[in-house]
Amino acid sequence: MRAGRTLVAAALGVVAFVVLWEGYKVVGNPDGTVLLGVRILPRADDLSMPHLYDIVARLGRPELTGGRPVWIVVLDAAGFTLGITAVGFGVGALVGLLLAVAMQRFRIVERGLLPYVILSQTVPLVALAPLVAGWSGRLSFGPYPWQDWMTVAVIAAYLAFFPVAVGMLRGLQSPPAAGVELMNSYAAGWWRTLVKLRLPASLPYLFPALRLAGAAAVVGAVVGEISTGTRGGIGRLIIEYSREATSDPAKVYTAMLGAAILGLVVAGLVGLLELPLMRHRRRVEVATL
């Protein structure tokens, strides 16, 4: 039922978007609307806002004269970024999980670390992207040189670990005192209590957090690719195409579409993870700050 509702919502959204877009092109000023010297409404001409069917058509035509069709290029790039996102997501989720378990186990770790965990997202440390990018080509893990895509994965992991850490911590702390006392009465140690009580109890908190982490990993990967100039990913593609916006306005939108699809695919994959484990269970969204 929920899936059905989501599909209806998405379909309605797409329809509404098409209506708004083309509608604005019909009524909007081709030069945009300027108020007090500041342009508050965008240009409605075909150069800035190509017709939607133009964008779709552009997907089918070649990227450069005699190159591969755009949609293949975009899909390729999206796939590349998907790989990096997956690595970043995996690492970030793992780190978040371990942190959560450590913080639940030792109250002093929670008290010392949690403020920094929260702070790490309060501050735009994504601004570090160009700096972490500087590591590439000069650091190495033994035989493996540090590669560009690793930087991007680190950035994605950095954004992904936080929702998992916070959500998982709340989840691990969620069982009522009565449940913990019950386990104590069975002389179950900390580990058994973790495995049999806290972990199952934390699932309703974990999965919404994983969904947020997935979205964050995508953003981290895209921004990271742009800062590091990593070739082959969708971030780089967006920048490249946007440079050609004056000559080929529809191309940059196709790249955007690729990024959007990437986001949806990641959300879908995380949703799939949930299916076997969360049947018959409610979900709890934890405010992440």
Partner 1 sequence: MRWVRSVGPPILLGILVIVAWELTVKLGRIAPFIVPAPSAIWREFVEQRGNVWQAALASGVNALIGLIGGTVVGVLAAMTASRFRPLSEVSVPFAAVLNALPIIALAPILNNMFESTSSVPRWIVTGIIVFFPIFVNTLRGLREVDPTHRELMQSYAASGWTFARKVRLPGALPFVFTGLRQASSLAVIAAVVAEYFGGLQNGLGSRITSAASFTAYPRAWAFVVGACLLGLAFYLSTLLLERLAMPWKSRLIT
Stretch that binds partner 1, among 62-70, 174-182, 198-206, 253-261 (CB under 8 A): 253-261
**Contact predicate 55/257, CB 8 Å:** yes
Stretch 151-170: interaction string toward partner 1, x if CB under 8 A: --------------------
Per CB under 8 A, which region of 72-80, 127-135, 179-187, 194-202 contacts partner 1? 127-135
Residue from 88, 171, 233, 235 touching partner 1 (CB under 8 A): that is 235
Could you give phi then psi for residue 33, rounded to 5 degrees?
-110, 125
Comparing CB distances to partner 1, the nearer of 197 and 205 is 205
Q: Which among 164-172, 186-194, 218-226, 276-284 is the span making contact with partner 1, rule CB under 8 A?
A: 218-226
Are the C-beta atoms of residues 233 and 81 closer than 8 Å to each other?
yes
> What's the closest the beta carbon of residue 150 comes to partner 1, in angstroms?
14
State the nearest-atom distance from the C-beta of 96 to partner 1, in Å: 17
Cβ 248 to partner 1 shortest distance, Å: 11
Cα–Cα distance for residue pair 141/135, rounded to 1 Å: 12
Which of the ranges 67-75, 95-103, 128-136, 189-197 carries the binding residues for partner 1, by CB under 8 A? 128-136
Q: Which spans of this chain sit near partner 1 (rule: CB under 8 A)?
A: 2, 5-6, 8-10, 12-13, 32, 38-40, 42-43, 48-49, 108, 111-116, 119, 121-131, 133-135, 138-139, 211, 214-215, 218-219, 222-223, 226-227, 234-235, 238-239, 242, 245, 249, 252-253, 256, 259-260, 262-264, 266-267, 287-289
